[in-house]
Amino acid sequence: MLEDLVKPTRVHNCRVRSILETLDTKDAAILLDAVMNPDWPYSTLENALRDKGISLSQGAIRKHRTKACSCLKISQ
């Protein structure tokens, strides 16, 4: 009866994904393009987003860009 009992894997929210979900389609596409664009240095993008009222750290941007965040786990 309990042979298939396994501990659930906890998936932490990706900050980039959380912000993308709050934006309209056009703004979400622009943000995702910027986050995934290696021509945007992490700190420069963080500062530009802060100027627009979006709080997204360099670490969150780096994790999403390098696919080290939870988004990869969700898509699999």
3-state secondary structure of 67: coil
pLDDT tens digit string along 12-68?
789 999 999 999 999 999 999 999 999 999 999 999 999 999 999 999 999 999 999
The whole-model pTM stands at: 0.79
Reported as a pLDDT band with limits 50, 70 and 90, residue 10 is: low
User: Exposure pattern of 25-51 as b/e (b: 16+ CB <10 Å)?
Assistant: eeeeeebbebbeeeebebeebbeebee
Which is more confidently placed, 43 or 2?
Answer: 43
The predicted pLDDT at position 11 comes to 65
Is residue 5 over pLDDT 50?
A: yes
**Dist. CA 27–CA 37, nearest whole Å:** 15
